[in-house]
Amino acid sequence: MLNKMDTLEQLEELLNKEEKFFLLKHSLTCPISHAAYQEYQKFADENQEVPTYYLAVQDSRPLSDAIAEKFQIKHESPQAILFANGNPLWNASHWKITKRSLASTFTDNR
């Protein structure tokens, strides 16, 4: 199940609480982002033990910008980020976000 994130406070709480989780930056108007979201949803449905979150860039632009600035990750949309122990471990954008890439990334970084 995907959980929506809207605030920097929610992100900070997750960074302190979850050992590892995925976050997807998603554009509500981009067809490429829609395809990535569908892949992300498939991954989440098949890997329910993996915490999966998303933010809608149009709804949460300050959060999206804060992530890019705090972690020095160039903003892209769509963009998937794997966080581990409070830091980004991996990120991918656009067509590189697939159910397969998410699964192999999570497995490779256990």
pLDDT confidence bin for 1, thresholds 50/70/90: confident
Q: Give the angle 85-95-102 at the CA atoms, nearest 5°.
A: 35
Give the pLDDT confidence score for residue 108 in this predicted structure.
80
The pTM of the whole model exceeds 0.85: yes
Give the pLDDT confidence score for residue 73 in this predicted structure.
94
53 with 81: CB under 8 angstroms?
no
CA dihedral 53, 63, 65, 80 (to 10 degrees): 0
- Residue written as tokens 């329910």? 48
Give the mean pLDDT of 80-107.
Answer: 95
